Amino acid sequence: MTRRIGVIGTPGKWSTETLADAFADRTGYRQVIDMGRAMLDLDQGRLLCDGVDLCQLDGLVLKKAAEEYSADALDRLEMLRVAEAAGVRVFSPAEAVIRLMDRLACTVTLRNAGIPMPRTVITEDVGAAREALERFGAAVFKPLFSTKARGMVLLEAGAPDAETQIAAFKAANPVMYVQQKADLSGEDLGMVFLDGDYVCTYARVSQTGAWNTTIHSGGKYAPFDPSPELIDLGRRAQAPFGLTFTTVDIALTPDGPIVFEVSAFGGYSGAQKGCGIDAAALVANHVLTQVST
């Protein structure tokens, strides 16, 4: 019996198309779904996109809900709950991903689980944000919805324009997420898990002297062999979220390892370029096994 699995992502993007290809190779069915083109009819219980009723598919794989994280992307995930209620398996479940797209929701869950993280202050008060910066010495001001360090601002305590930059950040981000700058020593790690099982770890190594190591800022992937203790940390970090495929962002600091966040969608490119692992194939095999049971 042919299983019809749709891939929710960004048409034309490598990871989305590679994942769709993996399902096509195994089932003969290929469908890339752009949730920006979807229409939910609650009266009829239909979630339509490009003529396909997502509520009639055998499964949906979430690669990307939107090109950029935002409250609008959360609404797209809420629409998928109708497909789930109709019996369609979604990988990862919509509610699990909703808990991750807001940086604060992810941070609170990790903190409540006792995961070591950088010192962090969340506030709407400019004075409290300024005091946190002075206490931390250097801090990264992070939007609650962003990926690949977009919109983040690094500030140093005592900088002559710190007050102005905090005010500008506050204007764009009413709730300010202020995190002490960590000593990354030029690299951080992406630890990959499939259904809670460890897959591999890759490093993101800075090539440009930028304060962050993201590929968006010029970082490069490299293989990394973690200790069993580090793998256990990554496993504990991703466990509360119940994701199908994810990457845990970890940094090794002079004071020990810390976790920045758990990815809502996982690093397919990092697994490929850093570890030589075809994550799309792993996910496709796992999903097809799940929908066939």
Q: Which of 83-87, 124-128, 167-171, 212-216 has the lowest mean pLDDT?
A: 212-216
Which amino acid is located at 133 in the chain?
Answer: L
The answer to whether residue 160 is domain-embedded is yes
The answer to whether residue 108 is domain-embedded is no
Q: What is the pLDDT of residue 2?
A: 82
The answer to whether residue 105 is domain-embedded is no
pLDDT reading at 207 higher than 80: no
Mean pLDDT of 122-130: 97
Tokens of 192: 């990959």
pLDDT reading at 218 higher than 70: no
Q: What is the pLDDT of residue 216?
A: 53
Output the average pLDDT for the chain. Answer: 92
Q: Are 188 and 137 within one domain?
A: no
Question: Which band of pLDDT confidence, cut at 50, 70 and 90, is reported for residue 211?
Answer: very low
Mean pLDDT of 137-155: 90
pLDDT reading at 141 higher than 80: yes
The residue with tokens 């601002």 is 153
Q: Are 173 and 213 within one domain?
A: no
Q: What is the pLDDT of residue 72?
A: 80
pLDDT reading at 195 higher than 70: yes
Q: Which domain holds residue 26?
A: 5-100+282-291
Q: Are 140 and 205 within one domain?
A: no
Domain boundary among 159, 180, 201: 180
pLDDT reading at 118 higher than 90: yes
Q: Are 195 and 132 within one domain?
A: no
The pairing of beta strand 5-8 with beta strand 59-62: parallel
Q: What is the pLDDT of residue 95?
A: 93
The pairing of beta strand 46-49 with beta strand 52-53: antiparallel
30/280 Cα distance (integer angstroms): 14
Q: What is the pLDDT of residue 186?
A: 78
Q: What's the total number of domains in the chain? A: 3
pLDDT reading at 191 higher than 90: yes
CB atoms within 10 A of CB 128: 14
Q: Which of 72-86, 133-147, 155-169, 211-225 has the lowest mean pLDDT?
A: 211-225
Q: Are 272 and 286 within one domain?
A: no
CATH number for 51: 3.40.50.20
Tokens of 138: 């250097």
pLDDT tens digits, 43-52 = 999 999 999 9
162/154 Cα distance (integer angstroms): 10
Q: Report the Cα–Cα distance between both ends of the chain, in Å, rounded.
A: 12
Mean pLDDT of 134-149: 91
Q: Are 154 and 188 within one domain?
A: no
- Provide the percentage of residues in the chain whose pLDDT is more than 70: 96
The answer to whether residue 268 is domain-embedded is yes
222/202 Cα distance (integer angstroms): 6
How buried is residue 165: exposed, middle or buried, by Cβ count under 10 Å (0-12/13-18/19+)?
middle
The answer to whether residue 111 is domain-embedded is no
Helix count and strand count (H, E) for the chain: 9, 16
Tokens of 47: 């979630």
Q: What is the pLDDT of residue 99?
A: 86
CATH number for 163: 3.30.1490.20
Q: Are 10 and 75 within one domain?
A: yes
> CA torsion sign, 109 to 114 to 117 to 118?
positive
pLDDT reading at 1 higher than 70: no
| Whole-structure pTM value | 0.91
